[in-house]
Amino acid sequence: MGLSRLDVFYRRLLLTKLFIGGWGKPEDLKRIFEFRKIIGDRELCKSLVPKDYPVYITKTREDADCQIHDGFFTSPLEHFVPGILPPEAVRARFQFVVPKKWRRNRPVCIHLAGTGDHFFWRRRTLMARPMVKEAGMASLLLENPYYILRKPKDQLRSCLKNVSDLFVMGGALILESTALLHWLEREGYWPLGMTGISMGGYMASLAVTNWPKPIPLIPCLSWSTASSVFTTGVLSKAVNWRELEKQYARNSVYEEEIIKLLEYCGTDSFKVDQELAQHEDSLKHLLHLSQSDRLSRDPAVKSGVGAEPVQVLLAEQGADGAKAEDSVHSFLVSASRPGTSLDNPTRGLHGKVQPKEKKAESGKCCERSLHRESINFMKGVMDECTHMANFSVPVDTGLIIVVQAKEDAYIPRTGVLSVQDIWPDCEVRYLSGGHISAYLFKQNLFRKAVYDAFDRFCLKYPDLP
């Protein structure tokens, strides 16, 4: 399928950059990856969050057909990885929308927020209230770390400052969802399920892998890993690659220590070249820009510094570029670090005198190779913390209904494992159009998938408490 023109156009309207602070502190990344090995194994962490973990309701208001409760609790992540959350994010807040009249049982679906989904009103208006009217189903809306009142003071809107922030958010939401599921069970609600749209779908999927019982899961507009989102999707254009490349080159800990902590090295990790080129062909066509026009007009691509990943990879498709890259690969990182200059006009790779033209060409190849290594590193760390193959398989994958858009330019499916390969028996429903159009106009189909998954659970486990 092609890519949605609306997705591409919408992305071009947003000028903010992601990860302006870089990768995050190396020590934080190490702590996150070590803890990921625990929460990625359901048996290892089944007792991390006690069944009586305290959750508090602070306020209740009455509406015509529902009650809306506001509540909070301390994020369990703070107990296991102290200080990894920003202080503002330690207290987890939620809103609980409960119908005044139940139709059958007391079903509750937890909704995790997608990118940019601040406050509760969007999920409450588009999903929770209609679900009360259509199915008599309650909804619990959890506030993401780094969002609304849990947002650090130096963060601009939804733009996470560091790559590591996304992983901290994921670890926190996994444990926070477990705490809420335990609380809902104690309060007598049944059946329980989880859903989310876009990033919320990824986070809901990760949370369900941790739950020790069968549970309905409905991830909408998400897939098997978030790595493709930031390396081949249109959102990759919002990544601050200049800062990421600079930090990767200057700090040897990323390639010498952190890479060794990455466990997932499957067929879709550290293999991005062919997929990136194919994906950019579609993006380039939609943007009506030829390769030569784009390269000639964009000074970032001319220099190779700070350029968008797809632009640089287009620039290095030629055979000469590939050969040059191979010859400087081992030289790249050391030559790019402080104390080693690429600006010496007389010295080549082996200390020999070179013409300025050859030196400039070699420097550009180094810059392109650095950019390529940064993309590969991004893919590796993203797969480590978000790839579903790196986590336990949910107890019953037959209760999973994935809803995906056929022309989604935000969530590329090319070159990554299908969710059906990782979760046998799950169902995938494809909608026409792209990411943005599905979010704006297909919410009713998301709700229909929720109802179907809950009905499936009730038929299969009528006596499961």
Express each pLDDT in 169-198 by its tens digit. 999 999 999 999 999 999 999 999 999 999
pTM: 0.80
Q: What's phi and psi for 9, nearest 5 deg?
A: -65, -45
> What stretches of 252-355 show up as alpha helix (H) in DSSP?
253, 273-286, 291-297, 299-303, 309-315, 319-336
pLDDT < 70 regions, the chain: 1, 15, 264-367, 465
Residue type at 220 in one-letter notation: C
**Whole-number Å distance between alpha carbons of 417 and 325:** 28
Sheet holding 91-99, edge to edge: 56-62, 66-74, 91-99, 138-142, 108-112, 192-197, 217-220, 401-405, 427-431
Find all residues with CB under 8 Å of 172, minimum gap 6, and list them. Answer: 75, 77, 85, 89, 92, 145
What is residue 16's predicted lDDT score, i.e. its pLDDT?
80
